Amino acid sequence: MCQIRNSRVQVSAAAMRTLRISGFAEVEVAGQLSYSGQPRAREQARIGVSLQEVWCSCEVELLESKYLSNKTFEPCVLGDAMCAFDRALETVFSLMTNEEIANVAVSLPGKLVSMLEDVSFTCIAHLRIEENSRLVYELNPTEKLRIAVKYKNMGVTLYKEGLSHQQILAFFLFSDAVKWLCMIQPEEAEDISKDVGTIKMQCYNNIALYHLQQHNYSLCVAAATTLLGVDEGNVKALYRRAVAHTEMQNYELATQDLRAALVLDPDNKSLKKQQDVIKQKQKGLSDRYAVAMKKLFS
């Protein structure tokens, strides 16, 4: 266990709200926030945070948190978390107002922080908005695209690390990128429509890959299908959907995707290998069926 920063907070406990979050779920809020006219921190705002009376069930260095390693009120961008713990904290911070002091409690499954045991964390957080971001409707399409590209690139960086807990966070960053891209209306972004489409397809392809590797096969199919609805000739999406269909024993659908992909890329070894996998699985299924029928009528 670790306990640090035992500075006295100059706010009575009764006047503070308590915000609890478990994993990336919704925040549970206890207590009433007195109206102060202060704004909440919006995504991409520059914020500073002071964390006091910190208690953690593990050594805080293991959490790889910028908020725990930074100096008091050192500016950070809300939304740019590169670890699961910071993402959970930022979800809490997004519900706090400027200069609010609150009790914060975070619980994270061990798999999100590459630990065998779950992690518990409590502190008293003081949030300060250095520069709030503009409202979404005040941003032009190019600015929204820039945010989406940043999230996509952050996700790619994490995913390439190859560690499970980082790939989980990368999935959320790809999803955040898609969220910002969906805020761009086609009629107001004709000059960047190609870039928007390209980044969106890259994100959906990455999301499909994540779900495939996590064995979430139906979600992989959904992500790949969304991409193929825009770009029906995307070989990666066809391949990943085929693999997911194979794992769900939808062999005919998988074969259709592989045939379509091979028309586009006839020399692709992965596509041909997956065809062999399907043939072997179909043969095994037929053999088991034949044995079962033989027993039934013997």
Which tens digit of pLDDT belongs to each residue from 108-163?
Answer: 999 999 998 999 999 999 999 999 999 999 999 999 999 999 999 999 999 999 89
Helices first, then strands: H and E counts in the chain? 9, 7
- Give the separation between CA 222 and CA 61, rounded to whole angstroms: 38
**Residue 118 near residue 62, CB atoms below 8 Å:** no
- How many whole angstroms separate alpha carbon 137 and alpha carbon 175? 20
The pLDDT score that the predictor gives to residue 25 is 86
| pLDDT for 5 beyond 90 | no
Judge whether 106 and 28 are in contact, CB under 8 Å. Answer: no
pLDDT at 190: 87
Predicted local confidence at residue 169, as pLDDT: 96
Residue found by looking up tokens 């069926």 in the block: 289
> Who wins on pLDDT, 291 or 254?
254
pLDDT, one tens digit per residue, over 30-78 is 998 877 889 999 999 999 999 999 999 999 898 999 999 999 999 999 9
pTM of the model: 0.88
Q: Residue 210: which of 276, 260, 160 has the closest Cα?
A: 160
Domains of the chain with CATH codes: 2-131 (3.10.50), 137-294 (1.25.40.10)
Which pLDDT score is estimated for 241? Answer: 98
The pLDDT of residue 6 is 46
Provide the pLDDT for residue 8: 47
| Mean pLDDT across the chain | 92
Cβ neighbours for 173, distance < 8 A, ≥ 6 positions apart:
151, 152, 154, 155, 158
Mean pLDDT lowest for which of 44-48, 151-155, 264-268, 283-287?
Answer: 283-287
Q: Report the pLDDT value the prediction gives residue 152, as an integer from 0 to 100.
A: 98
Nearest-angstrom CA–CA distance, 240 and 84: 26
